[in-house]
Structure formats: structure tokens, C-alpha cells
């Protein structure tokens, strides 16, 4: 049952600068609040640039590229549906700037969640969540959802390698030429593997004896360092700049929140 406690994940984070899980959680929480408040394009662009550099700091470039590829696909699909609705309902005209802010919000959250999911040990994450005095029914599902991200990426890798062994071409050109075939070959196995992974995560938690009264002993004790403080200060500084641009010079698209 390595779905919840994956030793491969522990090995891949050894070369990444150690950041306390509480600091990464604080950055994610701050980003989620600020990106909801900001509805201007300028403010969202500032958050995007800063969060993108933060995501690149974990040096998992391939994982970031895969995540952005999936995000791009979802953005294109959402944009096409939005454009279709604008044709059916002229009272809701299509505007690129109008849909840009929601997409930027999703990308910002992707940039701050990836470092948390790909670098934090699950035991440290559970300990940090439980230290917040959250109910058991909240912090266990939260940890499982975060742990699901690297597990799902590993599922994508395994399905891709299996298809390559069978002689299928998985290039982007082939995906666009035969979308239905790629949907059957890629997404159907991923759907069933995701369902299986969710069951394994739950069973692994039960077999590890995780319950409301459990005490989690981290694999390695972590302490708050100067690096963590600098990360929080930078996050607050960037948020302040983005909010300043939003309220003073921000351009709010038609239909955006004021």
C-alpha cells in the first residue's frame, strides 16, 4: 500500500530545498484568498508570475509541464463552450478578457498547490493539518486529495509507457488527429486507475491506523527556519502588490466582480 506513503516520492524530494509544510500551506491559503478578491487582469497577472516562479522552484519541470498541458486542455474546452453559449445567448457576449480572470485564478492555485503536493511528506502534512485542530473528517480527506496529485501523475506515466510498449504514438499531433481514439486509450484507463487509487488511499489510511485520536510521528522532524519566514514574507509582499494594482489601476473585465 504505497499509495499513501510512497517511498518514491520521498526520494524525489531529497534534492529540493526544505520548506516547512506549514509555510507551503500558508502560501496556498493566502493565494486562495487573494486570488478570489482580485478580479482585475493586472492583479491576476502579478499573482500568476509570482506563483509560476514558485512552482518552478521545486525543479519538477516535467510535472509542471504536464499539469499545464491538462490545464490548457480544460481552458480550451471551457473557452469553446463559453463561446458557444454566447452564440446561443446574445445577451451574454463572449469576451476573452472576461474569461481570462477565472482561468488565471485556476492557474494561480495550480502553481501554489503543486509545490505542496509534490514536495511535502504525507506524515508532515497530516501532522500540520491535525495541529490546526481541524475535524478528523476534514484533514484526512484533505491530505488524501493532496496526495492524489503525485499519484495521478504516476498513473499517467504508467499508462503512457504501456501504450508506447504496444506501439501507439502519443505525440500531440496524433492526439489532435485522432482525439476519440486517444480518449479511449488514455482517459478510460486513467479513470479506472483513479477509482482504484482512491480506494487504495482509503484502505492505506485504515491499515496505518489513522483515526481521530492518532498521533502522527514524522519521518523526520521539521523546524521553522529562516527560509520559511522569507517565503511567507515574499508571499505577503506579492499579495500586497497585486492588491494595490487591483484597487488603484486594475482593469476589471465586463461581468467581473467589483
Among 255, 249, 245, which Cα is nearest to 43's? 245
Residue 160: what pLDDT? Answer: 79
Q: State the helix-helix crossing angle for 226-249 and 41-56, rounded to 10 degrees.
A: 160
Residue 257: what pLDDT? Answer: 46
Our CA dihedral for 243, 22, 204, 207, rounded to 10 degrees, sits at -140
**pLDDT tens for the 258 residues of the chain, in order:** 444 444 444 444 444 557 888 889 899 999 999 999 998 888 899 999 999 999 999 888 888 888 888 888 888 888 888 888 888 887 777 777 777 888 899 999 999 999 988 887 777 777 777 777 767 677 677 777 777 777 777 777 888 788 778 777 776 666 667 777 777 777 778 878 777 777 776 676 666 655 555 555 555 666 788 898 999 999 999 999 999 988 887 777 655 444
Residue 67: what pLDDT? Answer: 84
Residue 56: what pLDDT? Answer: 92
Dist CA 118 CA 151 (whole Å): 10
Residue 27: what pLDDT? Answer: 93
Dist CA 153 CA 147 (whole Å): 11
Instruction: Flag whether the pTM goes above 0.85.
Output: no
Residue 241: what pLDDT? Answer: 94
Dist CA 211 CA 8 (whole Å): 25
Residue partners of 3: CB distance under 8 A and separation at least 6: 147, 151, 197, 200, 201, 204
Are the beta carbons of 115 and 54 closer than 8 angstroms? Answer: yes
Rama region for 217: left / alpha / beta (φ>0; ψ in -120 to 50; rest): beta
Residue 4: what pLDDT? Answer: 47
Reduced 3-state DSSP string for 24-35: HHHHHHHHHHHH
CB atoms within 10 A of CB 23: 21
Amino acid at each position: 500500500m504505497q499509495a499513501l506513503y510512497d517511498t518514491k516520492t520521498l526520494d524525489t524530494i531529497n534534492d529540493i530545498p526544505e520548506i516547512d509544510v506549514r509555510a507551503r500551506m500558508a502560501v496556498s491559503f493566502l493565494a486562495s484568498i487573494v486570488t478570489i478578491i482580485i478580479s482585475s487582469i493586472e492583479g491576476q497577472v502579478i499573482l500568476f508570475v509570482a506563483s509560476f516562479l514558485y512552482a518552478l522552484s521545486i525543479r519538477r519541470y516535467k510535472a509542471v509541464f504536464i499539469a499545464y498541458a491538462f490545464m490548457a486542455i480544460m481552458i480550451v474546452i471551457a473557452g469553446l463552450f463559453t463561446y458557444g453559449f454566447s452564440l446561443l445567448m446574445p445577451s451574454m457576449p463572449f469576451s476573452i478578457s472576461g474569461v481570462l480572470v477565472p482561468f488565471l485564478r485556476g492557474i494561480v492555485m495550480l502553481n501554489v498547490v503543486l509545490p505542496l503536493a509534490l514536495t511535502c511528506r504525507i506524515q508532515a502534512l497530516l501532522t500540520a493539518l491535525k495541529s490546526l485542530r481541524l475535524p478528523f473528517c476534514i484533514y484526512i480527506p484533505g491530505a488524501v486529495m493532496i496526495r492524489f496529485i503525485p499519484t495521478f501523475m504516476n498513473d499517467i506515466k504508467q499508462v503512457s509507457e504501456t501504450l508506447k510498449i504496444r506501439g501507439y504514438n502519443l505525440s500531440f499531433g496524433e492526439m489532435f488527429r485522432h482525439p476519440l481514439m486517444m480518449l479511449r486509450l488514455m482517459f478510460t484507463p486513467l479513470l479506472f486507475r483513479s477509482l482504484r487509487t482512491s480506494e487504495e488511499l482509503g484502505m492505506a489510511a485504515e491499515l496505518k491506523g489513522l483515526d481521530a485520536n492518532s498521533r502522527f510521528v514524522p519521518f523526520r522532524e521539521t523546524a521553522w527556519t529562516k527560509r520559511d519566514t522569507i517565503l511567507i514574507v515574499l508571499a505577503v509582499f506579492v499579495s500586497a502588490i497585486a492588491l494595490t494594482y487591483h484597487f488603484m489601476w486594475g482593469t476589471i473585465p465586463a461581468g467581473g466582480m467589483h
